[in-house]
Structure 1
Amino acid sequence: MFVVKETNKDDHFCFVIGDLIVCGNQFSRNSPAVSVRASQQPPVPPSKLSQRNQATVPLPVVTPRNQQTEKRALPEIGHLSAKDSKDQHEASALQDELDMLQEENESILEKLRLEDERCKEAEARVRELEKQVTSLGEGVSLEAKLLSRKEAALRQREAALKDARQNREGANKETTALRAQVESAKQEAAGVVAQLQVAESEVNALRTMTHRMILTPKEMEEVVLKRCWLARYWGLAARYGICSDIATSKYEYWSSLAPLPFEIVLSAGQKAKEESWEKDSEESEKRSQLVQDINDLTGEGNIESMLSVEMGLKELASLKVEVSITLTLAQLRLANTFRLSDPELKSPGGPKLLEALELSPEESEDVLFKEAWLTYFWRRALSLGIDVDIARERLQFWISRSAHSPSSHDAMEVEQGLTELRKRRIERRLWEASRSNQ
């Protein structure tokens, strides 16, 4: 058996169902009613109620207004209970239960208020956390941007390093190529230096050879004197008809090289009589100038000129031109002697006999020429240290013989002197000594 009574005033309601009385208010259209069970059932623990409030929609909260409404409803319920005498006892029990439920309801409302405050605090905290998360997200995005910038900078640096590495490799290749070129240039320079050294040695050898092929002033002077010898005796041969087939051409050739043979040889002999070869006197300068003029005319100063005169002298000796000229001059002098009559020859102190013993002008000239020749060569032998004692003696002898006019005895002595000069090989030894001093 149950009685249901509904009171609806200012959105408050109250139901009585058997042993249960349910009172509540409606906060909104979507808020469900609060059901209250009998006092015999145990109350819901606050922890479970808090969890249920967090998991589900919050339950409507009983306010003091509801309590007033409930209080107004109680007299009505009592009025109803008075009418029903049978239910008086049950109403008092229900009143007790209602008081207990009211107290529990107040406790629950307090807990709900606390939970609401906690929810608000939690929401505030959530909003704060959201703000923090937002700020963290902005910081993370800023850090991401910085990291992206750093990454871009690193990539640029890596690209720059790669380019620098490539450039360095290119520079290393160029350096290697340049080093190879330098080594090649060094090798070429070494080869050039070696070639230069070889060329210098060849030049030195050629210079030595050329120097040896070029005659010294004394050697050239000897060449000039020998050309004079050849020019004189080929001229005499052409005059007296000796080797008439070649004498004229030979004379023309050697006279072109020595136009004044007699004067040059006499000048050389006079120079040999002096104490010093370099005596500074006007006469010595004239004679030296005469020799220099002959050198300028020939225009030769090499060994070929010496070889040519040596060959000319050998040819002259092999043809016995000098001996033939001497015999011819002697025969001419004897022929002049035989043309004299016997009374003229036998007359004491006759001039014709003295003339017969004297030399002809050609013979006297030839004796003077040969004396000057011998004086010159013994002077050179003495200066080069060849047979010094003999050279000094012969030099003094020929210098003393040139002080008087030549006679037939002088003619014989000069021939003996030339023979001695050839036997001792003075001319050959002079050439060897002169070559060794170069």
Structure 2
Amino acid sequence: MIRLPLHRSLAGLLTGLCVASAQAQSADRDGHVDFATYLDAIVRTSNDLASQREAVSSARAGIGIAGLRPDPSLSLGAGPVEFSREVNPKPRLAQSIGLSYTIETGGKRERRIAVANSQLRVSEVALEGAKRQAFADAADAFIESCRTREALQRQEASLKSLSDIVRMNELRHSAGDLGGLELLQSRNERDQFLATVVKARADARAAMEGLSAPMGRLWSEVFGTRLPGCDFQPGPASEDVDALVSRALDERDDVRAARAALDAARAAADLTRANRKVDPNVSLSYGYTPQGRRGIGDDGAPTDPTPRSNTLSVSLSVPIPLSRLDKGDLVQAESAVTQAMLALRQTELKAQADVRVTFAQYNAALENLTRYRDSTLGDADKVLDGMRTSYRHGSASLLELLSAQRAADDTHLAFLQARSDLATATVKLQLSLGRQPAL
């Protein structure tokens, strides 16, 4: 059964992970899987989270890539080769070797590393956001599984009560104390309710199947035949909603993601400005020309060969930045920063509204559950017990008993829904504050 203490502080609600750990050990001894254990399994086995972790690894590798410096260029040359017939003897081939390197200016490398680091932070916060969504889906599936299973237990108990009424009426009919029409009516009521129970069984099975999707694996593969433990213990929140809003702005992953996106946009803008600076290219080359061949001059006399030559040259080339006259890249980068600032502001406003809405929903769910538990549920059970006693003594009709049974069933199902609503509101409030949910 789900117990809901009404006098716990918000600190106990939001820092109940130690309590949840103790509950996990107890739940395991009882053969059930508590909510904290289910979340741990999701962190280990979720396909979505595994994919997002790969994105973080990729972003981390991007830091090393961003820090790479330009590669130097090595050039080898030979020639020129003389093809003219008039030139004889042919000159020997000259050889050269050169090395060139582009010098980055404007702190481009540091700016690239800053952009890569900001992208890593964006990926890490995105991973936390993926966890938040996975936990929200998991909480919905877990709570629905508990609600449908306990609703089925209630409806099966009601079916047994209707079957007991039919058996009692059969005995009374055999003794001549009850007419056949009333017996048929009780049987018809039981058979109609059986259809409701059959649907409830299907709903419970479907809810159990729904627990597999957040994990990315079948429930039976991870937990075997154990069932979810439904010993939820959400407590009331404090009344200082402004303090909750302030905490949410510091800890919510969507706010942190928006801030990381703004930092990334600013880093990208800085890199754009740095990229507008031209990068000179320095070249160093060495040339060697071997000694020439002996030849015959115009007068027929032999000529001395040209001496061998060793040369060393240095050159500096600087691009003419005509393309920098267009400032479209700067406009785009600054627009991206402005958009990120606006997105951050909108995210902060949304976070504040989310906390206030979930806080109100939580208090409303707590109030509804308190009313059911303190009065409505007990009154419905008392009416049903009294009507059963009156029917056995002949003081109440079958229609009155069936009406009381339906009212009690509706009240119990509404009570289970109220408990589920409170558990859901608890999770939503915790998630809206940027905390891992605990039930």
Q: Tell whether the structures are fold-level matches, with TM greater than 0.5.
A: no
Q: Which has the higher contact order (CA 8 A, sep 6+)?
A: 2
Structure with the larger helix share: 1
Q: TM-score, with normalisation over the residues of structure 2? A: 0.20
